[in-house]
Structure 1
Amino acid sequence: MKTNSKFSLFMQTDLSSSDFKVLSLLYQPLIGIEAYAIYTTFYNLARKVAEIPHHIFFDMLNIKQNDFIKYREKLEAIGLLETYEKSTSLYLYVIKPPFTAKQFLVDTFLGTYLESEIGEKNLAFLLEIFKVNKPDTIECKNITKSFDDLYEFNTNELLKVNVDLEGRNGNTTKLIRDSIDYNLFVEKLPRALKTSNLFNENFKQKIVQLAYVYQYNVEDLVSIYENAHKGRKNITIEQINLQAKKYYEQKNKELFVKEKIANEDEALSIVPFSVIVDKYVTGDVINKSMALDTINDFISQNNIDPGILNFLVLFILKNKNGALPPVNYLNKVWESWRKKGVQTVSDAMQLQREADEYRKNNAYSKNNTKKEANEPDWLDEYMKDLFKKED
């Protein structure tokens, strides 16, 4: 970071008194007073100034640059801040609202982490502060009116808006698939490796994504995490990605789908990427691990249904003779499909069948005679092979 660099601040929504209560009593014991001060100062500056020189901010809080980076990274790791480097002289900080008390204490690992830091007795004290008294309604009848009891509205369509609107915590993105028990994964890690990044929701999603792409179980992930941690105090998701790729090459799993699913849409939505790679990517295990790494990169860059992605990969492998090109190629094909309205597996299948039919009907041999368009549907052949039962 250059000494004359500047930064801009962005936030999704205003914070409430409940948010600050959670920040001061639950987050602050984990991130420390300094990181808490940076967060609250960011929040108060966010809608007041366009760009702020870093050195002015350091003077305001009476901190040094190295300390600022350390505290900023704590905010990032616990999910309160996202940092983007636009250039070496300009940074973008996105302020993330905190979890609710229930999310923090019950729905994530942060509650357990907090207990390990402040002790069971102090946690019990905090629980009393956040406890909510509910009315006893067991012997009561709920006579609350619903919307359609009083209003008449004859459409089920939701409003379509093309701008970003205020929202709550950004850590609610649905995972591509909950393929492992993440709690168990953290529990099985050696105590010395249980760092704060494990409680970052974005980090968790990347780990679960890896488990789904490579079809790893908890034990596999523990080994991968331990390997990535060797010789390091802290690790990044990129280092874990590298170890996941190496682990696949070493283990070279053979995976097959045992059940035959009649519906192609449903089938392509549940089949693991690793099955398609094992069956249809040509070459050795290194080629296959590189293909899975490409798929993992693509998932990180795109919000795409797993079934559509499976079909996209099958389509490209068919046309590239079993070689999966770099992620940029996948992005270009997917962007082309999106512009043509592909939103479901059925849409993708229909688009490619129409394209195949067009090519067949317009293909001429050297003597200018139209070729016979009686070749078998490639997808049907792939699906039969993909879902055939293995002995």
Structure 2
Amino acid sequence: MNYPWKNMSPKDGFMVRQNAQLSDVDQKVLTFLYQPLIGSNAYSLYMTLWTEVGEETYWSNGILHSELLTLLNIGIPELYQARIKLEAIGLLKSYLKGSQSGKVYIYELLAPQSSATFFRDDLLSLLLFETVGERKFKDLRSRFAIASFDKEKYEEITKSFLDVYHFDANLLKQEKKLFEESIELVGETPAKGPEIGTQTFDFKFFYTGLNKHYVNRSAITKELESTMLVLHTMYGINELDMQQYVLEASNIDTGNIDERKLKNIVYRQYHNVKKEKVKLEDVVEKDIQANQNERKKRKSYLKQQGLTDDDIYLIEASEGISPYEFMTSIKEQKGGYVTNNEEWTLREILSKANLPASVINILIHYVLVIRNNPIFEKSLAYKISNDWAQNDVVSPEMALEKVKIMYQENAEKQQQAQRKQYTNFPSSNYGKTNKIRTETLPEWAKEGNVEKVEKPMSEEKKQAFSDRLKKIQSFGKEGEE
């Protein structure tokens, strides 16, 4: 399955742009009103992005997603989930630019709604009500309530602008061009709440049935239509049921509709039938869970095939990261860097061999780690990738099996070379001619021109090998469990 976060990488860069000034009151609104709806990860993401913005520039410096993942202690799927929650609720806009040097995101932070607007917004207020319950909802609303006073008992003595200031109108005309300059100022874009489309509710059908009754059609304003859309979306109210609820909330004499009564009727009916709160189903949450289940099944399958934990670490790492990132991770761990020739070789193999990225990652690991070559050797990489393409190596475990065969054959070849060396020295212990077993190797595995032949790993090297696999795995899935 192609999960949406697979297109993101820890090595992708991003910058943050602040669209509006954020006050202490905004932070309280975010903490008490938005956080219950978006969850702790999305809230932490918003606050972290906010702290990255310069005070008077309203832009951050360029940052890698890997730094963000470390700060938040989450993985790429959770980061993607948090990001789209902020987008859906109206707190973030995301932009992407791709180039040969990599992808760069722009995250534009939007101001939250004011508390007054939040509680007047049907969708936001109902979502909060359903999430925290009636008692907590009233408690939260009281946090932002301001005590009123009886204005009838007081005389307003506030001065108007012209009571206090006088200015030269001619001066304003002279400087008119200065004020007409096109410039975008912080706070210019008003805060917006989440929007709901009308695709799933047929208003034409709704009105056709409603016309048979006493309801005043003009009483259904755009605002009331928006309320009905929210009720339809949250509680699954269809057009026929909505007609009935609107009739119940209408005044039979005037034909006008009591919006508050309509919401109360729908709310009570839903909870009397369902006996449960409305649950916000995050579409990405299902994908994340499905991905985790797939990984568990995959790991269980690999164990059944007799693969070791180190083998599984390597396979999982190979499946979760692009070949270029995989190679970069290994080179960085070895204190080196990816050369232009290596990039070109890798692109050539990717375009011509038609092998899965995970298989090519196993090839990269073999050349750079198992053989401990300082560079991704072109001739060897071409021979192996060609052989694997011709032999339909389509999974990392198949590639790993090929690697193990090569490793064993090379170890035996070294032993044979050592035995031949010993027979050339006169010694009573080697007076007899020893029969040496020979192996028939495929063409790409005949390494007469290769300087280095693998030796069996010591326990220290095995531990270093395991540690390196874990680092490679975390390179692609930083923060994931």
TM, length-normalised to structure 2: 0.37
* Structure with higher RCO (Cα < 8 A, 6+ apart): 2
TM-score by length of 1: 0.45
Q: Rg: which structure is higher?
A: 2
